[in-house]
Amino acid sequence: MESFIEILKIFIPSLVVIGVCFFIVRSFLELESKKGQLKAHNTKQEIIIPARMQAYERIILLLERITPENLIRRTLKVTLSARMFQGELIAAIRSEYDHNVSQQVYMSPAAWAMVKTATEEAIRLVNVSGSKLPSSAMAADLAENILRITAQIGKFPTHIAIDAVKKEFSQYFLEQKDAPHEEKPGSF
């Protein structure tokens, strides 16, 4: 019986030491795992945040470029017929949109829907304006018609989308507590 007690005197402290070591090692490994996850998260944020910010900048630029006044100012060629100018305007809008379509992965679905709607409304405005002109009309006539219709609309869908994108940007990057802008672009 004494030998059994002697074995227990050695065995019990050994179990206690092994148990303590196990808990220390487990705690250390959990802490290291959390540090690794935090580092991975921070690295991901260092890459994603600048990409998202750039996406919002590019979308604002897209919307500004397809705003009727800016689009006409940039593309007007008075020597073209209205039909040819109409084609150029639509091609310019589609080109801007196609060049930036990948930016939607960085935006909320609601904000991207507003961008898409604003683009569609810009094309629609050009087509409606062109359809109201005689076949002999020139590019300046189409430009004037587009600007007249735009003035009647009030706030054009590109401006509404710009406001929504700016508001969403502020929410994500400037930590304002407002929800993303839900106003839908108007139609003419």
Q: In this structure, is residue 2 part of a structural domain?
A: no
Q: Tell the residue number behind the tokens 């689009």, with chain if given.
A: 71
On the question of pLDDT at 106 being above 60, the answer is yes
Q: Report the domain count for the chain.
A: 1
Q: In this structure, is residue 136 part of a structural domain?
A: yes
On the question of pLDDT at 183 being above 90, the answer is no
Q: In this structure, is residue 28 part of a structural domain?
A: no
Quick one: average pLDDT of 98-115? Answer: 95
Q: In this structure, is residue 32 part of a structural domain?
A: no
Q: What is the model's pLDDT at position 188? A: 43
Q: What is the model's pLDDT at position 175? A: 64
Q: Which domain holds residue 159?
A: 51-173
On the question of pLDDT at 177 being above 60, the answer is no
What is the per-residue pLDDT across 149-163, written as a single tens digit (0 to 9) for each? 999 988 999 999 999
Q: In this structure, is residue 164 part of a structural domain?
A: yes
Which segments of the chain does DSSP mark as H helices, in order? 2-66, 68-75, 82-100, 109-131, 139-153, 157-173
Q: Do the beta carbons of residue 47 and residue 92 sit within 8 Å?
A: no
Average pLDDT across the chain, whole number: 88
CA pair distance 123, 101, nearest whole angstrom = 16
On the question of pLDDT at 80 being above 80, the answer is yes
What is the per-residue pLDDT across 21-75, written as a single tens digit (0 to 9) for each? 999 999 988 998 888 888 877 777 777 888 889 999 999 999 999 999 999 999 9
Q: In this structure, is residue 81 part of a structural domain?
A: yes
Q: At 2, give phi and psi (nearest 5°).
A: -65, -35
Q: In this structure, is residue 55 part of a structural domain?
A: yes
Q: What is the model's pLDDT at position 6? A: 81
pLDDT band at 185 (very low <50, low <70, confident <90, very high): very low
On the question of pLDDT at 76 being above 50, the answer is yes
Q: In this structure, is residue 168 part of a structural domain?
A: yes
What is the per-residue pLDDT across 8-24, written as a single tens digit (0 to 9) for each? 788 888 888 899 999 99
Question: What is the pTM for the complete model shown?
Answer: 0.72
